[in-house]
Structure 1
Protein backbone atom coordinates (compact mmCIF):
# COMPACT_ATOMS: atom_id res chain seq x y z
CA UNK A 1 0.00 0.00 0.00
CA UNK A 2 1.39 3.38 -0.95
CA UNK A 3 0.15 6.72 0.29
CA UNK A 4 1.22 10.33 -0.16
CA UNK A 5 3.78 11.08 2.52
CA UNK A 6 3.84 14.83 1.92
CA UNK A 7 0.39 15.42 3.37
CA UNK A 8 1.28 13.51 6.55
CA UNK A 9 4.49 15.40 7.37
CA UNK A 10 4.52 16.56 10.98
CA UNK A 11 1.92 14.01 12.13
CA UNK A 12 2.99 11.34 14.58
CA UNK A 13 3.37 8.04 12.69
CA UNK A 14 1.37 6.26 15.40
CA UNK A 15 -1.75 8.16 14.36
CA UNK A 16 -1.27 6.98 10.79
CA UNK A 17 -0.61 3.43 12.00
CA UNK A 18 -3.80 3.46 14.06
CA UNK A 19 -5.82 4.60 11.04
CA UNK A 20 -4.24 1.99 8.78
CA UNK A 21 -4.99 -0.80 11.25
CA UNK A 22 -8.59 0.39 11.60
CA UNK A 23 -8.98 0.63 7.81
CA UNK A 24 -7.72 -2.93 7.40
CA UNK A 25 -9.83 -4.03 10.39
CA UNK A 26 -6.80 -5.35 12.26
CA UNK A 27 -6.71 -5.24 16.06
CA UNK A 28 -3.59 -3.88 17.68
CA UNK A 29 -2.90 -6.88 19.91
CA UNK A 30 -2.93 -9.58 17.20
CA UNK A 31 -0.98 -7.28 14.90
CA UNK A 32 1.68 -6.65 17.56
CA UNK A 33 2.03 -10.35 18.28
CA UNK A 34 2.23 -11.18 14.56
CA UNK A 35 5.29 -8.94 14.14
CA UNK A 36 6.89 -10.09 17.39
CA UNK A 37 6.27 -6.95 19.45
CA UNK A 38 4.57 -6.31 22.76
CA UNK A 39 0.99 -5.03 22.39
CA UNK A 40 1.79 -2.24 24.87
CA UNK A 41 4.52 -0.97 22.54
CA UNK A 42 2.16 -0.72 19.57
CA UNK A 43 -0.50 0.91 21.75
CA UNK A 44 1.95 3.53 23.06
CA UNK A 45 3.00 4.32 19.50
CA UNK A 46 -0.58 4.64 18.22
CA UNK A 47 -1.39 6.99 21.10
CA UNK A 48 1.65 9.16 20.30
CA UNK A 49 3.30 8.48 23.68
CA UNK A 50 6.28 6.70 22.14
CA UNK A 51 8.41 7.32 19.08
CA UNK A 52 8.80 4.76 16.34
CA UNK A 53 12.35 3.45 15.89
CA UNK A 54 13.63 2.44 12.46
CA UNK A 55 13.72 -1.34 13.11
CA UNK A 56 10.11 -1.41 14.26
CA UNK A 57 9.06 0.89 11.43
CA UNK A 58 10.52 -1.58 8.92
CA UNK A 59 8.65 -4.50 10.55
CA UNK A 60 5.35 -2.62 10.49
CA UNK A 61 5.84 -1.44 6.90
CA UNK A 62 6.57 -4.99 5.72
CA UNK A 63 3.54 -6.40 7.57
CA UNK A 64 1.17 -3.77 6.20
CA UNK A 65 2.63 -3.61 2.71
CA UNK A 66 3.77 0.00 3.03
CA UNK A 67 6.61 1.55 1.11
CA UNK A 68 9.90 0.92 2.91
CA UNK A 69 10.93 3.88 5.06
CA UNK A 70 7.57 5.64 4.97
CA UNK A 71 6.87 5.39 8.72
CA UNK A 72 10.48 6.23 9.58
CA UNK A 73 10.14 9.24 7.30
CA UNK A 74 7.01 10.32 9.17
CA UNK A 75 8.76 9.90 12.53
CA UNK A 76 11.64 12.10 11.38
CA UNK A 77 9.34 14.83 10.13
CA UNK A 78 7.29 14.64 13.32
CA UNK A 79 10.46 15.20 15.36
CA UNK A 80 11.44 18.11 13.10
CA UNK A 81 8.02 19.70 13.61
CA UNK A 82 8.33 19.31 17.39
CA UNK A 83 11.76 20.97 17.39
CA UNK A 84 10.51 23.83 15.23
CA UNK A 85 7.72 24.47 17.70
CA UNK A 86 10.27 24.76 20.50
CA UNK A 87 12.58 27.06 18.56
CA UNK A 88 10.00 29.38 17.03
CA UNK A 89 8.12 30.21 20.23
CA UNK A 90 10.41 32.82 21.77
CA UNK A 91 9.72 36.52 22.22
CA UNK A 92 12.23 39.13 21.08
CA UNK A 93 14.74 38.76 23.91
CA UNK A 94 16.39 42.07 23.08
CA UNK A 95 13.26 43.75 24.48
CA UNK A 96 13.48 41.88 27.80
CA UNK A 97 16.16 42.61 30.39
CA UNK A 98 18.00 39.52 31.58
CA UNK A 99 17.85 40.91 35.09
CA UNK A 100 14.09 40.48 34.97
CA UNK A 101 14.74 36.73 35.01
CA UNK A 102 17.68 36.85 37.43
CA UNK A 103 16.88 33.46 38.97
CA UNK A 104 16.89 31.42 35.79
CA UNK A 105 18.75 30.99 32.51
CA UNK A 106 16.64 33.04 30.08
CA UNK A 107 17.69 30.82 27.15
CA UNK A 108 16.16 27.76 28.84
CA UNK A 109 12.74 29.24 29.63
CA UNK A 110 9.80 27.35 28.15
CA UNK A 111 7.78 30.37 27.01
CA UNK A 112 4.63 28.32 26.39
CA UNK A 113 4.46 26.21 29.54
CA UNK A 114 5.56 28.94 31.95
CA UNK A 115 3.53 31.77 30.45
CA UNK A 116 1.61 32.65 33.63
CA UNK A 117 4.73 33.14 35.73
CA UNK A 118 6.45 35.07 32.93
CA UNK A 119 3.52 37.40 32.37
CA UNK A 120 3.08 38.02 36.10
CA UNK A 121 6.78 38.77 36.53
CA UNK A 122 6.89 41.18 33.62
CA UNK A 123 3.78 42.99 34.85
CA UNK A 124 5.19 43.20 38.38
CA UNK A 125 8.75 44.24 37.58
CA UNK A 126 8.94 45.07 33.90
CA UNK A 127 9.01 48.41 32.12
CA UNK A 128 6.63 49.52 29.37
CA UNK A 129 8.82 48.08 26.57
CA UNK A 130 8.85 44.68 28.25
CA UNK A 131 5.11 44.73 28.82
CA UNK A 132 4.53 45.59 25.16
CA UNK A 133 6.82 42.73 24.07
CA UNK A 134 4.89 40.26 26.25
CA UNK A 135 1.60 41.59 24.86
CA UNK A 136 2.84 41.19 21.29
CA UNK A 137 4.09 37.67 22.00
CA UNK A 138 1.18 36.24 24.00
CA UNK A 139 -1.78 38.44 23.03
CA UNK A 140 -4.17 40.19 25.39
CA UNK A 141 -6.57 37.24 25.97
CA UNK A 142 -3.76 35.03 27.30
CA UNK A 143 -2.41 37.88 29.42
CA UNK A 144 -5.83 38.45 31.00
CA UNK A 145 -6.03 34.76 31.90
CA UNK A 146 -2.57 34.85 33.47
CA UNK A 147 -3.29 37.96 35.51
CA UNK A 148 -6.85 37.27 36.64
CA UNK A 149 -5.88 34.91 39.47
CA UNK A 150 -2.74 36.77 40.47
CA UNK A 151 -2.38 37.82 44.11
CA UNK A 152 -0.81 41.16 43.12
CA UNK A 153 -3.23 43.62 41.57
CA UNK A 154 -4.03 45.86 39.81
CA UNK A 155 -2.22 45.31 36.54
CA UNK A 156 -2.61 47.68 33.65
CA UNK A 157 -3.03 46.13 30.24
CA UNK A 158 -2.52 48.38 27.24
CA UNK A 159 -5.98 48.59 25.71
CA UNK A 160 -4.92 50.24 22.47
CA UNK A 161 -3.37 46.98 21.24
CA UNK A 162 -5.77 44.16 20.36
CA UNK A 163 -4.24 40.81 19.41
CA UNK A 164 -6.05 37.48 19.47
Structure 2
Protein backbone atom coordinates (compact mmCIF):
# COMPACT_ATOMS: atom_id res chain seq x y z
CA UNK A 1 0.00 0.00 0.00
CA UNK A 2 2.89 2.39 0.77
CA UNK A 3 4.15 2.26 -2.81
CA UNK A 4 0.64 2.86 -4.16
CA UNK A 5 0.14 5.85 -1.87
CA UNK A 6 3.49 7.40 -2.79
CA UNK A 7 2.81 6.92 -6.48
CA UNK A 8 -0.63 8.54 -6.38
CA UNK A 9 -0.15 11.07 -3.58
CA UNK A 10 -1.89 14.37 -4.38
CA UNK A 11 -3.94 13.03 -7.30
CA UNK A 12 -7.72 13.11 -7.02
CA UNK A 13 -8.88 9.60 -6.03
CA UNK A 14 -11.51 9.74 -8.76
CA UNK A 15 -8.79 9.59 -11.41
CA UNK A 16 -7.28 6.58 -9.71
CA UNK A 17 -10.69 4.92 -9.43
CA UNK A 18 -11.32 5.53 -13.14
CA UNK A 19 -7.96 3.98 -14.00
CA UNK A 20 -8.64 0.95 -11.82
CA UNK A 21 -12.06 0.41 -13.37
CA UNK A 22 -10.62 0.60 -16.88
CA UNK A 23 -7.76 -1.73 -15.96
CA UNK A 24 -10.26 -4.29 -14.65
CA UNK A 25 -12.71 -3.77 -17.55
CA UNK A 26 -15.48 -2.65 -15.21
CA UNK A 27 -18.19 -0.21 -16.26
CA UNK A 28 -18.98 2.69 -13.91
CA UNK A 29 -22.73 2.12 -13.74
CA UNK A 30 -22.73 -1.57 -12.81
CA UNK A 31 -19.78 -1.00 -10.46
CA UNK A 32 -21.70 1.76 -8.66
CA UNK A 33 -24.81 -0.38 -8.36
CA UNK A 34 -22.73 -3.26 -6.94
CA UNK A 35 -21.53 -1.08 -4.05
CA UNK A 36 -24.57 -0.02 -3.73
CA UNK A 37 -24.24 3.63 -4.70
CA UNK A 38 -25.91 5.83 -7.27
CA UNK A 39 -24.05 5.82 -10.60
CA UNK A 40 -24.14 9.63 -10.54
CA UNK A 41 -22.17 9.59 -7.30
CA UNK A 42 -19.37 7.46 -8.76
CA UNK A 43 -19.35 9.52 -11.98
CA UNK A 44 -19.06 12.75 -9.97
CA UNK A 45 -16.17 11.28 -7.96
CA UNK A 46 -14.40 10.11 -11.11
CA UNK A 47 -14.79 13.53 -12.76
CA UNK A 48 -13.42 15.26 -9.66
CA UNK A 49 -16.63 17.12 -8.90
CA UNK A 50 -17.15 15.32 -5.62
CA UNK A 51 -14.88 14.23 -2.78
CA UNK A 52 -14.85 10.73 -1.37
CA UNK A 53 -16.55 10.14 1.94
CA UNK A 54 -15.31 7.50 4.37
CA UNK A 55 -18.38 5.37 3.68
CA UNK A 56 -18.02 5.35 -0.12
CA UNK A 57 -14.27 4.94 0.19
CA UNK A 58 -14.66 1.75 2.23
CA UNK A 59 -17.17 0.37 -0.26
CA UNK A 60 -14.76 1.01 -3.13
CA UNK A 61 -11.82 -0.49 -1.22
CA UNK A 62 -13.77 -3.66 -0.52
CA UNK A 63 -15.13 -3.95 -4.07
CA UNK A 64 -11.67 -3.53 -5.62
CA UNK A 65 -10.02 -5.67 -2.91
CA UNK A 66 -7.75 -2.83 -1.77
CA UNK A 67 -6.53 -2.45 1.77
CA UNK A 68 -9.19 -0.66 3.85
CA UNK A 69 -8.61 3.07 3.92
CA UNK A 70 -6.56 3.24 0.71
CA UNK A 71 -8.98 5.44 -1.22
CA UNK A 72 -9.73 7.59 1.82
CA UNK A 73 -6.01 8.20 2.41
CA UNK A 74 -5.68 9.20 -1.23
CA UNK A 75 -8.57 11.62 -0.68
CA UNK A 76 -6.79 13.05 2.38
CA UNK A 77 -3.53 13.53 0.45
CA UNK A 78 -5.44 15.21 -2.37
CA UNK A 79 -7.25 17.54 0.06
CA UNK A 80 -3.93 18.48 1.70
CA UNK A 81 -2.37 19.21 -1.69
CA UNK A 82 -5.31 21.42 -2.66
CA UNK A 83 -5.14 23.31 0.64
CA UNK A 84 -1.42 23.94 0.17
CA UNK A 85 -2.16 25.34 -3.30
CA UNK A 86 -4.84 27.65 -1.82
CA UNK A 87 -2.44 28.87 0.87
CA UNK A 88 0.30 29.53 -1.66
CA UNK A 89 -2.12 31.54 -3.79
CA UNK A 90 -2.55 33.90 -0.85
CA UNK A 91 1.19 34.59 -0.85
CA UNK A 92 1.48 35.83 -4.40
CA UNK A 93 0.04 38.74 -6.36
CA UNK A 94 -2.80 38.46 -8.84
CA UNK A 95 -0.98 36.85 -11.76
CA UNK A 96 -3.60 38.15 -14.17
CA UNK A 97 -2.11 41.63 -13.66
CA UNK A 98 1.38 40.50 -14.71
CA UNK A 99 2.49 39.59 -18.22
CA UNK A 100 4.03 36.13 -18.35
CA UNK A 101 6.59 37.48 -20.82
CA UNK A 102 8.20 39.34 -17.90
CA UNK A 103 9.21 35.94 -16.56
CA UNK A 104 10.16 34.32 -19.86
CA UNK A 105 12.99 32.37 -18.26
CA UNK A 106 11.00 30.74 -15.49
CA UNK A 107 7.55 29.34 -14.71
CA UNK A 108 5.62 32.21 -13.11
CA UNK A 109 3.41 29.69 -11.30
CA UNK A 110 6.41 28.20 -9.48
CA UNK A 111 8.04 31.42 -8.30
CA UNK A 112 8.56 31.75 -4.56
CA UNK A 113 7.17 35.25 -4.18
CA UNK A 114 8.46 35.62 -0.63
CA UNK A 115 12.04 34.39 -1.04
CA UNK A 116 12.69 35.90 -4.46
CA UNK A 117 11.10 39.28 -3.85
CA UNK A 118 14.24 41.30 -4.63
CA UNK A 119 14.65 39.79 -8.08
CA UNK A 120 10.94 40.04 -8.82
CA UNK A 121 10.71 43.70 -7.77
CA UNK A 122 13.76 44.61 -9.84
CA UNK A 123 12.43 42.85 -12.89
CA UNK A 124 8.98 44.42 -12.66
CA UNK A 125 10.38 47.92 -12.18
CA UNK A 126 12.88 47.49 -15.01
CA UNK A 127 10.52 45.96 -17.56
CA UNK A 128 6.95 46.26 -16.30
CA UNK A 129 4.25 48.73 -17.16
CA UNK A 130 2.47 51.04 -14.70
CA UNK A 131 -0.24 48.50 -13.86
CA UNK A 132 2.36 45.80 -13.09
CA UNK A 133 4.41 48.19 -10.95
CA UNK A 134 1.32 49.16 -9.00
CA UNK A 135 0.32 45.50 -8.52
CA UNK A 136 3.78 44.64 -7.16
CA UNK A 137 3.83 47.76 -4.96
CA UNK A 138 0.43 46.85 -3.53
CA UNK A 139 1.50 43.24 -2.97
CA UNK A 140 4.88 43.84 -1.31
CA UNK A 141 4.23 47.20 0.32
CA UNK A 142 6.38 50.31 0.39
CA UNK A 143 8.90 48.92 2.91
CA UNK A 144 10.09 46.12 0.62
CA UNK A 145 9.94 48.35 -2.46
CA UNK A 146 12.15 50.89 -0.67
CA UNK A 147 14.55 48.14 0.43
CA UNK A 148 15.07 47.03 -3.18
CA UNK A 149 14.79 50.29 -5.10
CA UNK A 150 15.76 52.98 -2.62
CA UNK A 151 12.39 54.74 -2.86
CA UNK A 152 9.07 53.93 -1.28
CA UNK A 153 6.82 55.57 -3.83
CA UNK A 154 6.51 55.68 -7.57
CA UNK A 155 7.73 59.01 -8.96
CA UNK A 156 6.60 59.86 -12.48
CA UNK A 157 5.50 56.25 -13.04
CA UNK A 158 8.93 54.82 -12.36
CA UNK A 159 11.20 53.76 -9.55
CA UNK A 160 14.89 53.89 -10.30
CA UNK A 161 16.77 50.71 -9.53
CA UNK A 162 19.89 51.38 -7.50
Q: Which residue of 1 aligns with 2:61?
A: 61
Paired with 1:19 and 1:43, the residues of 2 have a C-alpha distance of 13
Q: Give the drift of 1:68.
A: 0.7
- In the other structure, the counterpart of 2:16 is 16
What is the TM-score normalised by the length of structure 2? Answer: 0.59
Higher relative contact order (CA 8 A, sep 6+): 1
Q: How many residues align?
A: 114
Confirm or deny: 8 A CA contact 2:92 2:139 kept in the other structure: no
User: How far off is 1:90 after superposition?
Assistant: 3.4
Q: Is the 8 A contact 1:21 1:27 kept in 2?
A: yes
Change (3 A) 1:116 1:67: same
Match of 1:130 in 2: 137
Mapped partners of 2:37, 2:2: distance in 1: 23
1:49 aligns with 2:49: yes
Matches within 5 A, 1:92-131: 111=94, 115-116=96-97, 123=131, 127=134, 130=137
Is the alpha carbon distance of 1:91 and 1:58 closer, same or farther for their aligned partners in structure 2, counting shifts above 3 Å? closer
Higher radius of gyration, 1 or 2: 2
Question: Structure 2: 5+ residue runs without aligned partners?
Answer: 99-129, 141-156
* CA separation of 1:84 and 1:129: change in aligned 2, threshold 3 A: closer
Equivalent-residue separation in structure 1 for 2:74 and 2:49 (angstroms): 15
- SS of residue paired to 2:137: helix
The alpha-carbon deviation at position 123 of structure 1 amounts to 1.4
Superposition misfits of 4+ residues, deviation over 3 angstroms: 90-93, 126-129
